[in-house]
């Protein structure tokens, strides 16, 4: 590892069974030795807490520890993440093992960072419908509402005779005859997110008592079930696990042709989106904790990356401000669930193709003067609670919050722009000439004040500020942001083959709102306002690529932001004095006099 220029090694994240083979019998000599060997080679260790994999004996100790799915089925032992965040006994055991590791390694000079647990929420594990979750939810509601009458009022339980006389009567919102009250779901989602945050904080509080090293968590791609800004507040570094080919294969709404075009490279915007998101979650400090090095084992199809992609993915991360890129994994394990998952080494320890690319990146990086992060001219808000809101009440099959925000992100990147992602409680927008906040269900007071003081252009909508904090329709009707003169009177969702054309070209897809207001900047061909306002603008539908490109270009040109429409696959990112050109296309692309190799990266002074 050291020979090829790797500097960090993460270990231990699933090793509880080896650390404590029987309850109370610890065996850490092997871990002492591993850390010593790595440290002696000059490598820095990220030590993972092993709480994502409770050993088998834990299931005997706490028979009710397992998460329960929405259909009420207990999720079994035999893989990972088989615990419920609300289980108090499990939390005590977690505190014990984390305390033991923190005490033992907190001042070990080679343990230079920590990772809490592993990929919270992965495998759909945030929402658990267990008895432990139900009891904790009742307590959470009692804290929040203080009286059942207040809860009944907030949820609107007079509808369908749903009033409760006590918090003990409230069940979880699954298994109802037809849909449960959306306010009930929203509170359950908020509660479930808070449980992840407090579970993580339990660990960070303990680690900090014993260790000065920074603490990270490795988040996963397109996971919105808990508020990453919430966990992020207790961590020093936001890390994420980047599997570009797996994600293209199984978690994007793109056409089959598009998938074919990028099948060995990944989506040209998805990694960058997460880099920018996690830079925000980590308040500037972020890593890739796991970088795909070859075919993975878990997606519907698992192609081999094109030569050059392991290098490209790593460089793209550094261009977006990553402090480190680690690969998953070092050596392919020939046994158990991930035996088909590539590593930098083959199972026989010969080198696999990404090995040389990792070495090349390490050499290039060492020779490269600092690649700094620069503030982008454009900001895009990302709000986890809005993902829950529109999952709770999509009102149309295709209304997905991540999909909406990602479409805006892609629209900005096609125009050659670098983007900053902002949390929904951002109080100061003065650094940005253009701010976008599509689909934010409930705007925070801080953000409303920031909008009022912002002298750039802000584009809101569709569906922005469309719900109260209690998940009701606000009156006056949305977006209710004076002095913006705009009222959404009615909304409709539509199948993808029923577009709403805009007078200046392009369409609204999936979603459109009938609104009144002024000034009207764009209209639909059936005569409704499509874009309303002046500096603060409200967009009344979900724009397709053509409409979005025009709406964004107009706003940029009004603000003096230079745009540069990029060919398919080519993207750029400004980083300090450098401009990086990243080509996700399989073939060379020439743009404005420069040619970037297929699956290649190029940097030039800005």
Which residues are part of the catalytic machinery? 119, 290
HSE-up of 240 (CA within 13 Å, CB side)? Answer: 28
Phi/psi of residue 575, nearest 5 degrees = -145, 100
Round to whole Å and give the CA distance between 252 and 403.
8
The three-point CA angle 266-272-278 to 5° equals 125
346 and 352 in contact (C-beta within 8 Å)? yes
Chosen residue from 290, 316, 400, 522 binding ligand GAL by CB under 6 A: 290
Nearest to 120 by CA among 80, 77, 63, 76: 80
Q: How far is the CB of 264 from ligand GAL (least distance, A)?
A: 17
Q: How far is the CB of 345 from ligand GAL (least distance, A)?
A: 16
Which residue spans within 156-220 are E strands per DSSP? 215-219
Residue reference for tokens 């942001």: 481
CB-nearer residue toward ligand GAL: 75 or 138:
75
- What does the per-residue mask of binding to ligand GAL show for 195-224, with x meaning CB under 6 A? -------------------------x----
Query: Which 3 state secondary structure label does DSSP give 553?
Result: helix
Chosen residue from 285, 341, 414, 550 binding ligand GAL by CB under 6 A: 341
CB-nearer residue toward ligand GAL: 93 or 241:
241
Q: How far is the CB of 263 from ligand GAL (least distance, A)?
A: 17
Q: How far is the CB of 17 from ligand GAL (least distance, A)?
A: 15
CB-nearer residue toward ligand GAL: 317 or 521:
317
Residue reference for tokens 């539509």: 494
Phi/psi of residue 394, nearest 5 degrees = -65, -30
CB-nearer residue toward ligand GAL: 119 or 400:
119
Q: How far is the CB of 14 from ligand GAL (least distance, A)?
A: 7
Round to whole Å and give the CA distance between 1 and 351.
11
In angstroms, the Cα distances linking 466 to 146, 279, 509, 535 are: 26, 28, 19, 20
CB-nearer residue toward ligand GAL: 13 or 400:
13
Q: How far is the CB of 52 from ligand GAL (least distance, A)?
A: 8
**Binding residues for ligand GAL, how many (CB under 6 A)?**
12
Give me the DSSP letters along 352-385: PHHHHHHHHHHHHHHHS--------SEEEE--HH
409 lies in the site for ligand GAL, by CB under 6 A: no
Q: Which stretch binds ligand GAL (CB under 6 A): 41-49, 182-190, 290-298, 447-455?
A: 290-298
CB-nearer residue toward ligand GAL: 242 or 540:
242
Q: How far is the CB of 416 from ligand GAL (least distance, A)?
A: 32
243 lies in the site for ligand GAL, by CB under 6 A: yes
Q: How far is the CB of 119 from ligand GAL (least distance, A)?
A: 5
Phi/psi of residue 385, nearest 5 degrees = -65, -25
- What does the per-residue mask of binding to ligand GAL show for 93-132, with x meaning CB under 6 A? -------------------------xx--x----------
HSE-up of 158 (CA within 13 Å, CB side)? Answer: 5
CB-nearer residue toward ligand GAL: 26 or 298:
298
CB-nearer residue toward ligand GAL: 286 or 581:
286
Burial 29-59 (b: 16+ CB within 10 A, else e): eebeebbeebbeeebbbbbbbbbbbbbeebb
Q: Provide the terminal-to-terminal Cα distance of the chain, rounded to the nearest Å.
A: 34
278 lies in the site for ligand GAL, by CB under 6 A: no
328 lies in the site for ligand GAL, by CB under 6 A: yes
Chosen residue from 241, 267, 383, 420 binding ligand GAL by CB under 6 A: 241
137 lies in the site for ligand GAL, by CB under 6 A: no
Chain centroid to CA 70: how far?
A: 23
Round to whole Å and give the CA distance between 557 and 563.
8
In angstroms, the Cα distances linking 93 to 85, 173, 412 are: 12, 29, 46
Note the residues at the interface with ligand GAL (CB under 6 A). 118-119, 122, 220, 241, 243, 290, 296, 298, 328, 338, 341
């Amino acid at each position: 590892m050291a020979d090829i220029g790797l500097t960090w090694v993460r270990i231990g994240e699933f090793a509880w069974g080896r650390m404590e083979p029987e309850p109370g019998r610890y065996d850490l000599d092997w871990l002492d030795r591993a850390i010593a060997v790595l440290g002696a080679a000059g490598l820095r260790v990220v030590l993972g807490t092993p709480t994502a994999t409770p050993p088998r004996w834990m299931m005997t100790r706490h028979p009710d520890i397992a998460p329960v799915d929405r259909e009420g089925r207990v999720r079994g032992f035999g893989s990972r993440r088989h615990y419920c965040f609300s289980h108090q006994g499990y939390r005590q055991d977690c505190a014990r093992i984390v305390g033991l590791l923190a005490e033992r390694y907190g001042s070990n000079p080679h343990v230079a960072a920590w990772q809490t647990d592993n990929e919270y929420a992965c495998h759909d594990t945030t929402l658990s419908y267990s008895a432990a979750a139900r009891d904790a939810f009742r307590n959470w509601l009692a804290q929040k509402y203080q009286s059942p009458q207040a809860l009944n009022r907030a949820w609107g339980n007079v509808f369908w005779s749903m009033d409760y006389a006590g918090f003990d009567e409230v069940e979880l919102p699954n298994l109802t005859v037809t849909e449960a009250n959306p306010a009930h779901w929203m509170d359950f989602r908020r509660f479930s997110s808070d449980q992840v945050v407090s579970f993580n904080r339990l660990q960070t509080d303990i680690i900090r008592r014993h260790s000065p090293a920074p603490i990270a968590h490795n988040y996963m791609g397109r996971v919105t079930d808990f508020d990453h800004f919430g966990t992020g507040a207790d961590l020093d570094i936001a890390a994420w696990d980047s599997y570009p080919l797996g994600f293209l294969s199984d978690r994007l709404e793109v056409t089959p042709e598009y998938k074919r075009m990028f099948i060995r490279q990944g989506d040209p915007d998805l990694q960058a989106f997460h880099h920018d998101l996690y830079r925000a979650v980590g308040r500037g400090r972020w890593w890739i904790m796991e970088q795909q090095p070859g075919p993975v084992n878990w997606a519907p199809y698992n192609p081999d990356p094109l030569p050059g992609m392991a290098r490209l993915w790593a460089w793209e991360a550094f261009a977006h401000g990553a402090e480190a890129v680690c690969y998953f994994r070092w050596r392919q394990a020939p046994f158990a669930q991930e035996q088909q998952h590539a590593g930098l080494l083959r199972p026989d320890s010969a080198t696999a193709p990404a090995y040389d690319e990792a070495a090349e990146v390490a050499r290039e990086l060492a020779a490269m003067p600092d690649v700094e992060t620069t503030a982008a001219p454009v900001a895009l808000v990302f709000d986890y609670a809005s993902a829950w809101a529109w999952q709770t009440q999509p009102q149309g099959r295709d209304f997905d919050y991540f999909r909406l925000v990602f479409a805006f992100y892609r629209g900005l990147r096609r125009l050659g722009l670098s983007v900053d992602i902002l949390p929904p409680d951002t109080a100061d927008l003065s650094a940005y000439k253009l701010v976008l906040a599509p689909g934010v269900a409930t705007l925070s007071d801080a953000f409303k004040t920031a909008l009022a003081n912002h002298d750039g252009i802000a584009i809101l909508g569709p569906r922005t500020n469309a719900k109260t904090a209690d998940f009701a329709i606000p009156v006056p009707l949305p977006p209710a942001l004076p002095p913006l003169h705009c009222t959404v009177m009615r909304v409709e969702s539509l199948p993808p083959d029923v577009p709403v054309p805009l007078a200046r070209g392009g369409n609204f897809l999936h979603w459109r709102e009938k609104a009144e207001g002024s000034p009207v900047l764009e209209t639909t061909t059936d005569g409704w306002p499509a874009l309303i306002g002046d500096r603060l603008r409200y967009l009344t539908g979900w724009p397709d690529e053509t409409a979005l490109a025009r709406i964004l270009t107009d706003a940029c040109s009004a603000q003096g932001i230079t745009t540069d429409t990029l060919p398919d696959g080519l993207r750029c990112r400004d980083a300090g004095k450098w401009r990086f050109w990243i080509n996700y296309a399989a073939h060379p692309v020439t743009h404005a006099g420069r040619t970037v190799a297929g699956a290649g990266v190029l940097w030039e002074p800005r």
